[in-house]
Chains A and B, each alone.
Chain A
């Protein structure tokens, strides 16, 4: 049976997200021209959480969308279990916008590369920044997050799971050994 360790509990996740929201505002000097894009599926829920935090802090709603990376993966063969394909839903143009890409766990960097390719097909953003709840290391590609909730050194055999409740609110982050 897997040995589970809770790395962040509910309030820990909340604090991490609030801090990321402040850092996003700090780096971008407010919400002008800012959009949030979550990577399906966990990243989308976290992007919505971040958008809520930004409303609380700045009182302004930041457009929030979703990107599906299945069609941009570099390993189509052998990943039949990842199907079906999700939908990319960007109800706004990213042309000239500062895009904050949001994901739950940063691992090899391949998902982020695929998401950036998917975003570039949608238009030319002025910049893309990356926010992740957990960075577990083991990069295959030279990709670094701009905003990190928690750095968790892991071994390759371990797994990090971000749990969500029925309302898609993040509840905890678990390390499975």
Chain B
């Protein structure tokens, strides 16, 4: 079976087989990252533009390394150093970039749906590196790869996702991806940060208490409190949030013995995650970052290698 999408905008758009193909490819490609010469000629002559309208260290670097490991030429554009500050629209930016004949545009944008808008207007492939509070498919895939490596499967896993679900594109991609793959997702967070009707997405249970979600979980996924997105009206105080929705060793003790702790980063130490938990043996946070490169290599490879969409 091949991968027949021109773009990767959302995990919601992908089938179980397509997600499995991306994860299998990433699993194989991770071997390249262990070599002395970490480079293969697969995408030689292809140009990847990383267009980042929002600050990012991990994702941008990871996409850049992924492109370079596949021998593509990667160009980075950040909004603060581009003509966006002069008032250029996304459509004009896209047309100008397109005139330089890139093969793939990897974009991060603060507006949900910006990628869909872009993908419809350009002939090259578009990969979503995070759009507003919508989706972050590469993060969802690397999370699933990390879980699959640990447990050998995704089907039947109990995954607790704790924190600001409303503003989290990571949570949305994880929910779509994991439920497609047969995992059961348990959500917990302040009621002001829990979207109404989220349980309608399928195999999703909303818990009132974090302990209920973490109880006998295989994976505890902690989300970052995104102060830049929500203003100050949704939380009384950080201390209170940390007390009710922070992961400490005692709460983690409720999960299965071999459970792993995950976090998309960057961590607010002492808020959503106690420092001792972030650095404990059960923490898979750095494995997630490592898997990020392989997953992004797989995404770049498949949008280039897949047959054109009819």
CB distance from B53 to the nearest CB of A (A): 29
Compute how far the CA of A87 lies from the CA of B32 in the bound complex, rounded to whole angstroms: 9
Residues of A within 8 A of B4 (CB): 80
Q: Is there an interface contact between A121 and B35, defined as CB atoms closer than 8 Å?
A: yes
Q: Is there an interface contact between B304 and A76, defined as CB atoms closer than 8 Å?
A: yes
CB distance from A169 to the nearest CB of B (A): 25
A61 adjacent to chain B (CB < 8 Å)? no
Residues of B within 8 A of A84 (CB): 21, 24-25, 28
Across the two chains, which residue of chain B brings its CB closest to A81? Answer: B2
Q: How many B residues face the partner with a CB closer than 8 A?
A: 27
Q: How many A residues face the partner with a CB closer than 8 A?
A: 22
CB distance from A65 to the nearest CB of B (A): 12
Q: Is there an interface contact between A85 and B2, defined as CB atoms closer than 8 Å?
A: no
- Hey, what's the 0/1 contact readout for B147-181 against A, CB within 8 Å counting as 1? 00000000000000000000000000000000000
A159 adjacent to chain B (CB < 8 Å)? no
A71 touches which of B21, B32, B302, B306 (Cβ 8 Å): B32
A72 adjacent to chain B (CB < 8 Å)? yes
- Hey, what's the 0/1 contact readout for A72-104 against B, CB within 8 Å counting as 1? 110011111101111111000000000000000
Q: Is there an interface contact between A87 and B2, defined as CB atoms closer than 8 Å?
A: no
Residues of B within 8 A of A89 (CB): 31
Q: List 20 A-B contacts (CB under 8 A).
A: A71-B29, A71-B42, A71-B70, A72-B41, A76-B301, A76-B304, A77-B304, A77-B305, A80-B305, A81-B2, A83-B2, A83-B3, A84-B25, A85-B25, A85-B301, A86-B28, A88-B31, A118-B40, A121-B37, A121-B39
Residue ranges of A at the interface with B (Cβ–Cβ < 8 Å) = 68, 71-73, 76-81, 83-89, 117-118, 121-123
Residue ranges of B at the interface with A (Cβ–Cβ < 8 Å) = 1-4, 21, 24-25, 27-29, 31-32, 35-37, 39-43, 70, 301-302, 304-307
